Chain A
Amino acid sequence: MPTSALDSTRSSRHDCEVPAVEAFELRKEFLRRARGSGRFTRRRRMPALKGVTFTIARGECVAILGRNGSGKSTLVRLLSTLLLHDGGSAHIFGHDAFTATRTVRRLVNRVSVEASFFKRMSAEENLAYAARFYGLTPAETRSRIPEILASVGFPADRRSEPMENLSRGMQQKVALARALLTSPVLLLLDEPTTGLDPRSKLEVQDFIRTVRARHDATILLCTHDLAEAEALSERVGILDRGELLCLEPVDDLLRRYGAGTLEEAFLAATGLSIDPIDDEDEDREVLA
């Protein structure tokens, strides 16, 4: 076998062997103002992630379930290089998420619960702008944007309308199109269907399935929609107060907690009592 072919085989074998995501004892803390401490506000460290360890294989779809403030968004932000960690490590396709950020950013894209667009700009303009950051030229996006918008079921006659005129479901479809436009190999979905009507929710879920099938993307889906997690993913994890309690196929999860449904398993894992959730997002000193 010629040397170059051998190298190529080794390289592709290496790529297949390297997990898409590998997090080991990943920790993140936020500074939080202590309530009622008077004029001179004291700050205390609030752990958002307490040593999370997991691996996601290439091409796999994994769902992380958790209540509000459980650390799902923090995990997504860490993996998308938006936050610096306080301990442990995270690798995306073998690249350190905190030192090889440029390489990781080329591989990853994210869809969050807020669509986050320039509201006065149209879907086409927003996508073109996002595509430039990933090195796509106007000639490349001219045909690709209409194609990708059509594939998410976005009406062609509304492509030049300002985003602020579009419904939330439409905006979320454009957010998915934006993520796909850059052909990410790892797609981080942070509650992508929250706040959508049932029809839009199903459309987005169908689209996620299509993306996985066609683009060979690895997907990390953070959600608190149990049905969505069950329908889309191969393994389901439960993140509670910054701790990953489990990450396994739904059947194993049900067996582990002796539950008949994912909802029962989730309640068994996180505690049956409905105690008030301390929403940490309010006080976190996050960049944006």
Chain B
Amino acid sequence: MTRTTTAALRHELIGLGGVVERNWYLVKRYAWWELTFFFWTVANTMTIVFIAKGVQATGVKVDVNELTTVLLIGAVIWAYLGIIFEILTETVAWERWEGTIEYTFMAPLSRPVHLFGMGFFAIAYGVVRAGLLFAAVALLFGPTISPHSSCWRWRPSRSWASG
């Protein structure tokens, strides 16, 4: 690899890191909004998970533990993918709204690197958020690991969660 290529690659990597760094700054600066939207996502996920409890109430015979697990994992993955798509699709809209798009476009950084930077951040942010979301909702429903089951058993001790 020539020195020029190495320098160009280094430059692009620094730029990519800059995009991730900027998003981290924004998460810190909008921390209260982050928390608010996180509660909204928790509530949204819970409404989906509650379906498992509701199905049993209608008289349908299902394995509630399995259905709860499946719905919880599905809702968390949905939230994870939703965040990734939101961050990527709003890459340009966000900068237009802030008024910085011209400065980004006139910088010596390729568009794909800019998008990759957003993508890396979106994946990292999405994983952390999905983990927290899973933990928060799972705690509310109270899972226990059953050696006889392929999925978690959800403790019926919480009356509001057990339907």
Contact = CB atoms under 8 A, between A and B. Distances in A.
B143 interface: no
B26 A118 contact: yes
Contacts of A77: 102
A97 to B, nearest CB: 11
Interface stretch (B41-49, B106-114, B150-158): B106-114
Contacts, number: 83
Query: Size class of B's contact patch?
Result: 20 to 34
Contact of A129 (B22, B96, B102, B106): B22
A255 B104 CA distance: 43
A102 interface: yes
A138 B22 CA distance: 12
A207 interface: no
B100 A136 contact: no
Contact of A116 (B17, B99, B109, B110): B99
How many interface residues does chain A have, given as a range?
20 to 34
Contacts of A162: 29
Interface string A48-88: 00000000000000000000000000000100111000000
A105 B99 CA distance: 19
Given A120-B29, A129-B25, A135-B11, A82 B18 contact: no
A204 to B, nearest CB: 18
A132 B106 contact: no
A133 B108 contact: yes
A288 B106 CA distance: 12
A135 B15 contact: yes
Contact of B14 (A110, A125, A135): A135
Contact of B108 (A102, A114, A116, A119): A102
A131 B15 CA distance: 8
B30 interface: yes
B108 A121 contact: no
Given A118-B26, A120-B29, A136 B102 contact: no
B102 A106 contact: no
Contacts of A137: 14
B21 A128 contact: yes
Interface string B1-24: 000000000110011011101100
B160 interface: no
Interface of B: 10-11, 14-15, 17-19, 21-22, 25-26, 29-30, 96, 98-110
